Structures are given as structure tokens and as C-alpha cells.
Amino acid sequence: MLSKKMLGATTAIMLVAATGAHAESLTIATVNNGDMIRMQGLTDDFTEKTGHTVEWVTLEENVLRQRVTTDISTKGGQFDITTIGMYETPIWGKNGWLVALDDLSADYDVDDILPAMRGGLSVDGTLYAAPFYGESSMIMYRTDLMEKAGLEMPDAPTWEFVADAARKMTDKDNEIYGICLRGKAGWGENMAFLTATANAFGARWFDEEWNAQFDSDAWKKTLNFYIDLMNEAGPPGAANNGFNENLALFQQGKCGMWIDATVAASFVTNPNDSTVADKVGFALAPDTGLGKRGNWLWAWALAIPAGTQKEAAAKEFIEWATSKDYLELVAEKEGWANVPPGSRTSLYENPEYQKVPFAKMTLESINSADPTNPTVDPVPYVGVQFAAIPEFAGIATQVGQEFSAALAGQQSADEALAKAQALTNDEMEAAGYK
């Protein structure tokens, strides 16, 4: 072990000597998600190749957002690379807070990045963050429970079918809940799911004049449908369940269906963590026949804050972490199923990866999400499960708290919607939209 490290260090030094570049120490902020933790473990490969070392600041998602947002809006300059999402990238890029990634090397093959991801991480055609992994949402369901309920999941189900199946699969005495959905308040938690679902029900956040639309029938229908379904077929405490809580429930075999990020597919099918690994099927997120599916589009991407002294080294890291080679490195060590998904076209063309059970459905979900045209009726914003305006995170978290309280039974859906309507209009007015 020691000698291998020494060897690595020696090669690194030689490489540095050969290229004349000098070794930097990069500070990278990232989320404590499985794929990132894996990346952390593989950092040695990067150091061997470039001589640069990496210091990780790994934080829980909410804490990370708080840290990196404060840092970037005060130009604190604490991080050489930060992990951000599809919501932040266009806003920050437009503010000139991020280094444009328009001069990546030819080997990197930027054109290989899935068009949906590239589009969502660019401003006016310039890429500002490179996708580490990308996701849409889809249904993950228990094939055995579906069979037991005497149903067969179509590839592209409707909400009607899903609700019916959820009720039939539910067996509360044995702690089997037909459907697990996000309920925890937060713009990136329940509001991601509900906004995307509302799209399928024909609802939208704003009309073209930026008037809040929570008083519409479509939103009423969405929220009531969701709350009724969760009360009848959801797990207890759903109002506190986010992605992680639902993942744990599904892995324990307590959920019949779970509609969430496609990236979860590799966790629920991993026999090391999941008790139901061999009994999981996949389907597109449901629709209601209005022409839009409730599947979102998201990427966790690596970006360089403007003003870092180590821009060149940071770019080298991004090229390493989001490259084809990195995917192969992970495949070699952990198997293809554990490769960070949803970022590159070539991955989905790879015959090895096509054998992975969820590969096809993930790609189809990603391709069917349309951030520029997310809703049935026209809207002035871009984004499926969010509206890419700076005010959204603040507003949606408050709206999310109202909806979460409605799910917990503290208020009715109508009350929650009325409050959401009022507070959204109030905030939008104060922000100068009207």
C-alpha cells in the first residue's frame, strides 16, 4: 500500500517535471451522495495523472447549498470547484460567477454530453458546469408485488393506473405501502416531485404574466390526488420523507412503487444495500393523457467559481471526473451498474452498459423531459421541476412547507393552495415581476 502510494507520488512528480505545470491543491465542495463518495475514493487516480491533489468538503445537500451559495454570492472564493445543479448553473452563469467551460480539450469530447444535460447547464450556448451525473424521474416498482396484485405495469403508465396499483399493493399490516413519494418540504424535495407531477396534470407555476397559478383547478386536482393517494397507500410519516428516506424504505422492501430520481435505480438494484435488488422493474413517470409526463430533469454538475487562482487545475479535474475514462474506471472497479448515469451519449451506446436493467428507461426518461416547454399551457420560465429564476428556491421552499403541512393533515389542500397563491404573488411582486 505504502509503496504503491510512493510510486504514485513519484510518477506524479515526474509528470509535473515533464509538463512543467505545477501541482495544485484543489478544494472541492460536494454532496454526500453515493456517486460523489465513490469519486472521492478514486481521487488517487486523478492525482497520479496530473499531480494535483484534492481536498474534499463533503456536506449534506442542504448544508452544501447554504455554504456554496453564501460563498459565491459574497465572492468568498473558498472553493475551486463546487457541485451545483441545473437550477443554480444558468443563474450563476448569467451573473458571471462561473468560469465558462468553453475550452475543454478535444479528448474530452464535449459533444458527447447528452443534449438535454448540456442545454440545462449552458447559458446562451456556453457550458458553465459539466454534468457529473444526470437524472430524470421514473417509476421504480416491485415486480413481485405487482404480480401479486394481478397487474402488469405498462412502460408508460397513467396516474390512474399507478394510483389503482398503489391501492391494490398496499398491505399496511405487513408494512407494505403501495407508493412512496416525497413529502419533505423543500424546493428540491417535495416541490421537485409535485411541480413535475403538476405538469402532467396540466398545471403550471405561473402564467405568462408571472401570476401565480395555485388557484387553478389543475393544481387543486394535483394536490388532492397526491394527498388522497398518500393517505391511502403511502407510508406513515410521508410528510418527512425525502429522497433518502424513501430510498431506505424501498431498499427495505416497504414500498410497492417509488417515483423518484432515475439515479436511484442503481441503489435499489444493488444487492449489497437492497433487500429487493432482483425484484425491481422500471417504467416512465406517469401522465394523465394531456401530453406531458411528470418526469423532471436534473444534473449534479461540477463548476468553477469565477476568481479562483487554480482555474487550469480545476478544469483538469472536471475533465477527469466527467470524462469517458472516469466512467470506465468506475465500471472496472465497481461494475457498470454503478457508473454515474445520465451524462454521456456514449455510455448509453456502450453494449456493456445496455445490459444494465435500468439503462434504457433512464435514457428514455431523460430524453422525454423538456425543460424549455415543460407544461401543457405556456409558461414564461424554463425548467421542469423548478422555474429557473433566482426567487424560485425561496418561494418554493415556503410553498413546499404548506403542501407538506397539508399532507401531514394540519390543513386542507385548499388552504395550502390559497396560502401558496398568496405568498407566491407577494414574493413575485416584491421581486419586481409585476
Partner 1 sequence: MATQHSRSAARLMNTPAIFLLLVWMLVPLCMTIYFSFLDYRPLRGVYEWADGFENYARFLSSGSFTDSVVTTLIMVGGILAITVIGGVLLAMLLDQPIWGQGIVRILVIAPFFVMPTVSALVWKNMFMNPVNGLFAYLWKFFGGTPVDWLSQAPIFSIIWIVSWQWLPFATLILLTAIQSLDSEQMEAAEMDGAGFFSRFGYITLPHLARAITVVVLIQTIFLLSIFAEIFVTTNGAFGTRTLTYLVYQRVLESQNIGLGSAGGIVAVILANIVAIFLMRIVGKNLDN
Partner 2 sequence: MARAVSNRRQIVTTIVAWTIGLLIFFPILWTILTSFKTEAEAIADPPSLLFFNWTLENYEVVQERSNYGKFLWNSIILAVGSTVIGLLIAIPSAWSMAFQPGKRTKDIMMWMLSTKMMPAVGVLFPIYILARNSGLFDTHILLIAVLMLMNLPIIIWMLYTYFKEIPVDILEAARMDGASLKSEILYVLTPMALPGIASTMLLNIILAWNEAFWTLNLTTINAAPLTAFIASYSSPEGLFYAKLSAASTMAIAPILIMGWFSQKQLVRGLTFGAVK
Asked if 309 is part of the footprint of partner 2 (rule: CB under 8 A), the reply reads: no
Burial of 73 (0-12, 13-18, 19+ CB in 10 A): exposed
240 binds, among partner 2, partner 1, none (CB under 5 to 8 A by kind): partner 1
Across 71-176, the runs of DSSP E, i.e. the strands, are: 81-84, 122-123, 126-127, 130-142
The residue from 10, 19, 70, 373 that contacts partner 2 (CB under 8 A) is: 70
Q: Measured from the CB atom, is 185 or 227 closer to partner 2?
A: 185
Query: The C-alpha cell of 173 is what?
Result: 399490516
Rounded distance between C-alpha atoms, residue 283 and residue 290, angstroms:
18
Asked if 66 is part of the footprint of partner 2 (rule: CB under 8 A), the reply reads: yes
Give me the 1-40 binding string for partner 2, x by CB under 8 A, dash otherwise. Answer: --------------------------x-x--xxx--x--x
Residue 29 beta carbon to partner 2: minimum distance, rounded to whole angstroms: 8
247 binds, among partner 1, partner 2, none (CB under 5 to 8 A by kind): partner 2
179 CA to centre of own chain:
20
Query: The C-alpha cell of 318 is what?
Result: 472536471
Place of cell 417504467: 283
Rounded distance between C-alpha atoms, residue 241 and residue 185, angstroms:
9
Q: Is the CB of residue 286 less than 8 Å from the CB of residue 159?
A: yes
Query: The C-alpha cell of 272 is what?
Result: 449489497
Residue 225 beta carbon to partner 2: minimum distance, rounded to whole angstroms: 28
Residue 121 beta carbon to partner 2: minimum distance, rounded to whole angstroms: 22
| Segment lying near partner 2 (by CB under 8 A), choices 68-76, 114-122, 200-208, 393-401 | 68-76
Rounded distance between C-alpha atoms, residue 208 and residue 195, angstroms:
17
Rounded distance between C-alpha atoms, residue 58 and residue 170, angstroms:
37
Asked if 76 is part of the footprint of partner 2 (rule: CB under 8 A), the reply reads: yes
Find all residues with CB under 8 Å of 422, minimum gap 6, and list them: none
23 binds, among partner 1, partner 2, none (CB under 5 to 8 A by kind): none
185 binds, among partner 1, partner 2, none (CB under 5 to 8 A by kind): partner 1
Asked if 97 is part of the footprint of partner 2 (rule: CB under 8 A), the reply reads: no
Residue 26's beta-bridge partner residues? 54
Asked if 105 is part of the footprint of partner 2 (rule: CB under 8 A), the reply reads: no
Which residues would be at the binding site for partner 2 (CB under 8 A)?
27, 29, 32-34, 37, 40-41, 55, 57-61, 63, 66-67, 70-71, 74-79, 242-244, 247-248, 251-252, 264, 267, 273, 275
